[in-house]
């Protein structure tokens, strides 16, 4: 979150000066920085502006999908945004990873696992996708592969990140604490 906090200072200065008001990328970057620093409402507004300027932006769509899901603004809308993002840009690892999180929310573990796998094939070190795989395996009652994913996140994520904290929490949970290989 540190680099996003620094980025916000620069991006907000540009927005205040009116620089790049016609550029959707300013609003997409603001949206991402707001999202990563926990300012969901501001993130939604910025991403909506980005999409108003460039409706075919897959990154803005997938981020907005996750934000709609988190805010309870419409699960079906969230799924639609994320599906549209992967149709527009099937090579975006983050789009697949975000689609996977929405599918997990809908209790569709096989589809969520496929989306996480696609995300990791596109970018092997995608930490949120690795965490997602752990969550999916937990939902599928497969503690051994879930634990392996959580351990990988705990080894590779920034210790200050929410992904590291979530992986450590999941490793301490009774459903992944065991060492059995049933899965």
Average pLDDT over residues 46-75: 95
- Beta-carbon contacts of residue 30 (< 8 Å; ≥ 6 apart): 8, 11, 12, 15, 42, 43, 46
pLDDT (tens digit per residue) in 108-124: 999 999 999 999 999 99
User: What's the pLDDT score for residue 130?
Assistant: 99
What DSSP state is assigned to residue 39? Answer: -
Residue 133 near residue 149 (C-beta atoms within 8 A) = yes
Residue 150, both tokens: 């959580």
Conformational region of residue 18, where left means phi above 0, alpha means psi within -120 to 50, and beta covers everything else: left
Per-residue pLDDT band for 6 (boundaries 50, 70, 90) equals confident
Per-residue pLDDT band for 94 (boundaries 50, 70, 90) equals very high
Please state, for a pLDDT cut of 70, what percent of the chain lies above it: 87
pLDDT reading at 73 higher than 70? yes
Average pLDDT over residues 47-61: 94
User: What's the pLDDT score for residue 42?
Assistant: 96
Average pLDDT over residues 66-87: 97
pLDDT (tens digit per residue) in 163-172: 999 999 999 9
pLDDT reading at 78 higher than 80? yes
Q: What predicted TM-score, i.e. pTM, was given to this entire model? A: 0.85
User: What's the pLDDT score for residue 25?
Assistant: 85
Conformational region of residue 91, where left means phi above 0, alpha means psi within -120 to 50, and beta covers everything else: alpha
User: What's the pLDDT score for residue 4?
Assistant: 72
Distances in Å between the Cα of 46 and the Cα atoms of 42, 52, 53, 149, 181 are 6, 10, 11, 33, 45
Average pLDDT over residues 35-45: 94
């Amino acid at each position: 979150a540190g680099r996003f906090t620094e980025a916000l200072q620069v991006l907000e200065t540009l927005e205040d000066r009116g620089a790049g008001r016609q550029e959707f990328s300013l609003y997409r970057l603001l949206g991402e920085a707001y999202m990563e620093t926990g300012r969901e409402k501001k993130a939604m507004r910025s991403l909506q502006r980005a999409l108003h300027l460039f409706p075919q932006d897959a990154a803005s769509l997938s981020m907005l999908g996750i934000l709609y899901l988190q805010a309870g603004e419409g699960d079906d809308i969230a799924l639609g945004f994320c599906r549209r993002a992967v149709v527009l840009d099937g090579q975006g690892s983050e789009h697949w990873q975000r689609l996977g999180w929405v599918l997990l929310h809908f209790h569709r573990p096989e589809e969520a696992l496929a989306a996480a796998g696609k995300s990791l094939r596109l970018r092997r070190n995608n930490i949120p996708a690795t965490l997602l795989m752990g969550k999916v395996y937990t939902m599928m009652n497969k503690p051994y592969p879930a634990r392996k994913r959580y351990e990988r996140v705990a080894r590779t994520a920034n210790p200050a990140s929410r992904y590291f904290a979530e992986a450590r929490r999941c490793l301490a949970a009774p459903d992944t604490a065991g060492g059995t290989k049933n899965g």
